[in-house]
Structure 1
Amino acid sequence: MDTATPPPATDAQASVVAENVSKVFFSGRDPVWALEDFSLTLEPGSFTCIVGPSGCGKSTFLRILGGLEERTVGKVTTTGIEHPVPAAFIFQEHGVFPWMTVEDNVAFGLRMTGVPARTRRAVARDWLQRVRLDSFAGSYPHQLSGGMRQRVAIARAFATGSPVLLMDEPLGALDAQTRMLMQEELVALWEAERKTVLMVTHDIDEAILLGDRIIVMSGRPGTLREDITVPFDRPRSVDVERTAEFGELRSRIWNLLRDDVRTAEETA
């Protein structure tokens, strides 16, 4: 099957280009290279997943793209302009503020960019309706389930209007059933908005189910091992996991990762 081609870019979409990005940390006097000469281009409106062994620099790269971490070497541009990617983040730990209502959490990013109160309330309520949490607008995070709190975090990211979403294991803390439901909901929102998405995940099945491409990274220092196009049409459901092609792709990715995962576990 042919991969669905992302639609042409609109004003709400962005391309992201990282060229020869490297990152070094210092542990005492010794340099530790987290990333080395890593390049990646994200097409506007695409959904790309990164998989790799623990400690290979996946999350570091995400933080560099979003301006939360300084790169040591290399260049990052968004639609041809060099600056931190204008991105919204979604993390594994949902990061919602416990002292804020659900509505205020969703509106927080808009508040930080100076959007007037009436407008940000309207946008927040719209997104709460889209993630089926409008009846919980006045509730607080402790009153919600884990899946509901993560839907708040997803709504907050989409509500910012940022053309790029950077997601670091956003569903990793959820139970298996809730995770499957959230995968479906996340893809439905993305298909409606077609933002440019880069998602880090340890789950190979999740990467195949969600992504247009899968970037396989090497062990530390992380660099590109293989760039794989996912050969399944959209819309895509969990039924694809029962196909022979899915199993073959899963095995191919695992074979690329196995030795580096074993090394990472032995040196942890």
Structure 2
Amino acid sequence: MKTSALIDDGPGAPARPSNTPYSYSVREVSKIFSGRNGQVDALRDVSFDFDEGSFTCIVGPSGCGKSTLLRILGGLETATYGSVDIRLPESRVPQSAFVFQEHGVFPWFDVIENVAFGQRMAGVGKREREETASRWISEVGLSGFEHAYPHQLSGGMRQRIAIARAFATGSPALLMDEPLGALDAQTRMLMQEQLVRLWEVERKTVVLVTHSIEEALLLGDRIIVMSARPGRIKEVIDVPFGRPRDVSIEGTVQFAEMRQSIWESLRDEVRASMRFS
């Protein structure tokens, strides 16, 4: 597996590519939840740099803290210990935009109002935000549905609204939590290719959580493999496939070998996580 020149940032911090600015620097982050049944260690001593303009995928067993880490990056959760240094361009829009597995579109808004919502919250004028929304509606293949309501659309179309809304915010970073996980297999493949194409044009910093090894290999520049709870970084893998990229790489011997290697790294972690279920 291909590796790049690395810098050692000191004890407890993994090496990162040299001469590359980063958007997020995570240092020894731990997260502990307290509840009726005591404390739950969700994350322990997680350190990593998410480089500017990179596409990072996080894989790991259920309950390993993947989504918690994403929420900490986006400011929806606070770390119990450790630090997150965020270095994103200053702008009038939020520094990061979320896309969740449950698309989260507003049922009382039509498509264009949903896609324009982030810019509306940022105080962007109606004409400008609708022009931007119309562009992203076209980019995700929903032209002609601008004034349709979510209940009139399929699940795949609603998920495209959520992705268009995230890109339309203008945020320099996108944080995606299983954004394609609820889609059928055929729609998911089309959306994976579409997401690759949009990212290759925009080059935002993307951190995407997925259970799919194949999806991580197709989309990511790097894959973070996490252990069973409490989630730690078990392995960081550089993805060697060039860009532009499409699903045809899944038919290559190298893809099959990497998928098997990642699964072997994950197998024991998945077994361990099942003991907590």
Common fold: TM-score over 0.5: yes
- Higher RCO (Cα < 8 Å, 6 or more apart): 1
Q: Is the 8 A contact 2:88 2:95 kept in 1?
A: no
User: Which structure 1 segments of 5+ residues have no match?
Assistant: none
Q: 2:180 aligned to 171, 186, 190, which one?
A: 171
The number of equivalent residue pairs is 261
Contact residue 34 and residue 57 of structure 1 kept, 8 A: yes
Deviations 1:146-172 (A, max 9, x none): 111111100000000000000000000
C-alpha separation in 2, matches of 1:232 and 1:35: 30
SS of 1:114's partner is: coil
Is 1:33 aligned to residue 25 of structure 2? no
Q: In structure 1, how many angstroms separate the alpha carbons of the residues matched to 2:162 and 2:276?
A: 34
Q: Which amino acid aligns with 2:71?
A: R
2:80 to 58, 72, 77: 72
Note the 1:18-167 alignment, pairs <5 A. 18-28=26-36, 30-79=38-87, 86-167=95-176
Instruction: Kindly provide the amino acid, as one letter, of the partner of residue 26 in structure 1.
Output: S
Following the alignment from structure 1 to structure 2, what is the Cα–Cα distance between the partners of residues 42 and 147? 29
Deviations 1:229-254 (A, max 9, x none): 01111112212112111111111111
Q: Would you say the 8 A contact 1:14–1:163 is kept in 2?
A: no
Structure 1 residue identity aligned to 2:101: Q
Q: For structure 1, which segment, 110-119 or 100-109, has the greater mean C-alpha deviation from structure 2 after superposition?
A: 110-119
Question: What amino acid is aligned across from residue 22 of structure 1 in structure 2?
Answer: S
Residues of 2 paired with 1:50 and 1:2: CA distance?
Answer: 18
Contact 1:47 1:197 in 2 (8 A): yes
Moved more, 51-60 or 257-266: 257-266
Amino acid at match of 2:256: G
Letter in 2 for 1:129: S
Query: Could you tell me how far 1:2 is from its partner in structure 2?
Result: 6.3
Secondary structure at the aligned position of 1:15 is classed as strand
- Secondary structure (helix, strand or coil) at the match of 2:197 reads helix
What residue ranges of structure 2 are gaps of 5+ in the alignment?
A: 5-16
Structure 1 residues 26-70: Cα deviation after superposition (integer angstroms, max 9, x where no partner): 122622110011011111110000000110000000001101111
Task: Please name the residue that 2:264 is paired with.
Answer: 255
Q: Tell me, in whole angstroms, the C-alpha distance in 2 between the residues paired with 1:71 and 1:234.
A: 35
